[in-house]
Amino acid sequence: MFIEVNSHTFHEEELLPAAAILQSGGICAFPTETVYGLGANAFDEAAVSKIFKAKGRPQDNPLIVHVADSVQLADICIVTPLAEKLIARFWGGPLTLILPKTDAVPRVVTAGLNTVAVRMPSHPVANALIRLTGLPIAAPSANLSGKPSPTRASHVVTDLDGRADCIIAGGDCEWGVESTVLDLTVTPPAILRPGAVTKEELAEEIGEVIYGTGVGAPKSPGMKYTHYAPSAPVYIAEGPDALERVYKAASGYQNPGILYYRTEQPHLPVSISAGSTPAEYAARLFYALREFDSRGVDVIFAIPPEAGGMGDAVRNRLFKSAGFKTIE
């Protein structure tokens, strides 16, 4: 089933068929403010297993459970005082919290961990859909495992047409990178994945916050897999003479592409602008990586944003998409 809605003016009745699919054990892709998600009833093991199969996602990479209110939250995790503080400031929004799980959450959702990742989206369609089902919805990003996350409905169709029971198309995602994942079961709290809620903002609210080892190694099992990779290899070029080095490296290729940021417009066959702020970069990054693929480039060069704030989230995704390859 394919349902197209206007995320600003839709009526909840338009989502009822999708809610029914989720209630009866199906999987449904839907827009959120970060990226599109592929959801299933978090309490239904068989339904959640379908997500892993549809994405080709490794079983040991746990899912985020999405809720619409605090009653649902109490069913799936233990809400600590620190969590309450962060929830009051940042929910609904792009912040996922790792908390101790309740017995109600099946192992398939958490990949056997005794913690669960929880988030409340701000996106009106995601929110309404979860409320209509009356269920917590386990949902990773709605892409094939390893590919760039989907920030437009067309990306979801490309990856999951015929693999999902339902796709809700609701326009472009506002943030464009996945949620910040914060582990509240360790002291000090550790960011396992940087996102639109920044380290600086979190520290303002709860004091010391650190980046987990390698941003994600031990506690975020998903991080060991290839991520966000377009078909063409990606190389990162940083520093004042980055463009010069890109031109040099590009001379060995037929159809090189560049994702440029705060430089003059490069003279390469395929040049895509990443905007002029880290937030614009975030909103365009996954779109751009997929666009390079559809324009058939044989290599992608990318000029990253500076570190700090949302720049950290963009750099994290970009370096992973490049497999950490840089040109000197």
| CB of 214 vs ligand AMP, minimal distance in Å | 12
Burial per residue of 48-61, b for 16 or more beta-carbon CB atoms within 10 angstroms, e otherwise: bebbbebbebeeeb
DSSP E strand boundaries for 112-198: 115-119, 137-138, 166-169, 180-183, 190-193
CB of 194 to ligand AMP, least distance (A): 11
- What's the closest the beta carbon of residue 315 comes to ligand AMP, in angstroms? 16
Considering only residues 137 through 156, tell me which ones interact with Mg ion, judged by CB under 5 A.
Answer: 140-141
* Residues sharing a CB contact under 8 Å with residue 266, sequence separation 6 or more, in sequence order: 243, 246, 247, 258, 260
Between β-strands 234-236 and 190-193, what pairing exists: parallel, antiparallel or unpaired?
A: unpaired
Binding partner of 192, given Mg ion, ligand AMP, none, CB within 5-8 angstroms per partner class: ligand AMP
- Told to check if 222 binds ligand AMP by CB under 6 A, we report yes
User: Given candidates 42, 73, 97, 113, which one binds ligand AMP under the rule CB under 6 A?
Assistant: 113
Q: Which region among 72-80, 125-133, 162-170, 213-221 touches ligand AMP (by CB under 6 A)?
A: 213-221
State how far the Cα of 167 lies from the Cα of 275, in Å rounded to an integer.
29
Two tokens at 258? 């560049």
Q: Decide whether 26 or 140 has the Cβ nearer to Mg ion.
A: 140
Residue 130 near ligand AMP by CB under 6 A: no
Q: Is residue 58 within 8 Å of 64, Cβ to Cβ? A: no
CA distances from 44 to 50, 77, 135, 218 (A): 10, 16, 10, 27
CB of 109 to ligand AMP, least distance (A): 8
Structure tokens at 301: 């060069």
- Rg, Å, the chain Cα set: 19
Rounded to an integer, what distance in angstroms lies between the CA atom of residue 275 and that of residue 62? 33
Among 23, 61, 154, 277, binds ligand AMP (CB under 6 A): 61
The reply on whether position 127 binds ligand AMP by CB under 6 A is no
Select the residue interacting with ligand AMP from 117, 177, 182, 322 (CB under 6 A).
117
Determine if 51 is a binding residue for ligand AMP (CB under 6 A): no
Is the bond leading into 257 cis (omega within 30 degrees of zero)? no
From the list 58-66, 236-244, 257-265, 313-321, the region that binds ligand AMP by CB under 6 A is 58-66
Of positions 132, 192, 299, 322, contacts ligand AMP by CB under 6 A: 192
Q: Cα dihedral sign for 120, 123, 125, 128?
A: positive
Nearest distance in Å: CB 174, ligand AMP: 16
Out of 127, 141, 151, 180, the only residue in the binding site for ligand AMP (CB under 6 A) is 141
DSSP 65-105: EE-SSHHHHHHHB---HHHHHHHHHH-SSSEEEEEEBPTTS
Q: Taking CB under 5 A as the rule, does residue 32 contact Mg ion?
A: no
Site residues (CB under 6 A) for ligand AMP, limited to 257-316: none
For residue 185, the minimal CB distance to ligand AMP (Å) is 8
The residues binding ligand AMP (CB under 6 A) are: 61-62, 64, 98, 110, 113, 115-117, 140-141, 178, 181, 192-193, 219-223
